[in-house]
Amino acid sequence: MADNNTERVPTVIADDVHIVYRVRGAGGGKGSATAALSRIVRRKKGEQRGVRTVHAVRGVSFTAYRGEAIGLIGTNGSGKSTLLRAIAGLLPTERGKVYTDGQPSLLGVNAALMGDLTGERNVILGGLAMGMSREQIRDRYESIVDFSGINEKGDFITLPMRTYSSGMGARLRFSIAAAKDHDVLMIDEALATGDRKFQIRSEQRIRELRKQAGTVFLVSHSLGSIRDTCDRVLWLEKGELLMDGPTAEVLKAYEKETGK
């Protein structure tokens, strides 16, 4: 555990957070009897015509502290990515509040890099987007590319990113984000797409980031990655927080429930 963990400085506080998506133009199947019935039910509930709602996160509360690495687990569609996006300030809360210390950085497999630009240009773009100066990017460029391992099999960094495999893209995104120290770094599935060698490197980097007093959130279906990296786990199911506790305890309960 990180030394500074004893101070217990909160970095993220989620207080009864509810997130609701509104999907327009999702009426569907106008003519059928079931569609007509569901329209009537929706109108009774006061929903707007042609707008469906998805209540993706339901009353989640927790406090994250400096030096913690927190895993987020749960079956598909349980609300993990939605919760991270809300913490990053990318989604408004319907009810409840998220308080953060500094600006959390969200690193997802869909992080906005440009497919038509080379890996090289994307390192610069991603670095600037994270608030690094051009000098800082220049200084760290080599180590970012080395860390990503993109050039291990040839000069791929000078090719457009759309030519990368999904694993290569995810590795480059992680490497760019990991080049900077973060107060709160949130990683959505990035590790699962890399190979074992890269996973070990990134797990090591996550441990370093934690030592520099940051908080790391990791969403993953790979329980191995969660076990190796996190000391605390939040288990979400149907948008609700089912369990919040030490990794071994929560994973044991999750494995029992899911039969993994």
Ligand X SMILES: Nc1ncnc2c1ncn2[C@@H]1O[C@H](COP(=O)(O)OP(=O)(O)OP(=O)(O)O)[C@@H](O)[C@H]1O
Chain residues binding ligand X by CB under 6 A are 21, 23, 54, 56, 74, 76-82
Strands (E), the chain: 10-24, 51-65, 69-73, 95-100, 105-108, 184-188, 215-219, 232-237, 240-246
- 74 or 214: CB nearest ligand X: 74
- 90 or 200: CB nearest ligand X: 90
From 90, 110, 72, 112, select the one nearest 21 (Cα to Cα): 90
Residue 194's φ and ψ, nearest 5 degrees, are: -80, 165
Spatial separation of the C-alpha atoms in residues 67 and 105, rounded to whole Å: 16
State the minimum distance, in angstroms, from the CB of residue 61 to ligand X.
17
- 120 or 240: CB nearest ligand X: 240
- 76 or 166: CB nearest ligand X: 76
State the minimum distance, in angstroms, from the CB of residue 16 to ligand X.
18
- 21 or 99: CB nearest ligand X: 21
State the minimum distance, in angstroms, from the CB of residue 65 to ligand X.
23
Q: Are 16 and 61 in contact (CB under 8 A)?
A: yes
State the minimum distance, in angstroms, from the CB of residue 36 to ligand X.
23
State the minimum distance, in angstroms, from the CB of residue 28 to ligand X.
14
State the minimum distance, in angstroms, from the CB of residue 227 to ligand X.
18
Q: Are 113 and 172 in contact (CB under 8 A)?
A: yes
DSSP 134-145: HHHHHHHHHHHH
Q: Residue by residue, what is the 3-state secondary structure of 84-112?
A: HHHHCCCCCCCEEEEEECCCCEEEECCCC
- 109 or 159: CB nearest ligand X: 109
Q: Are 63 and 12 in contact (CB under 8 A)?
A: yes
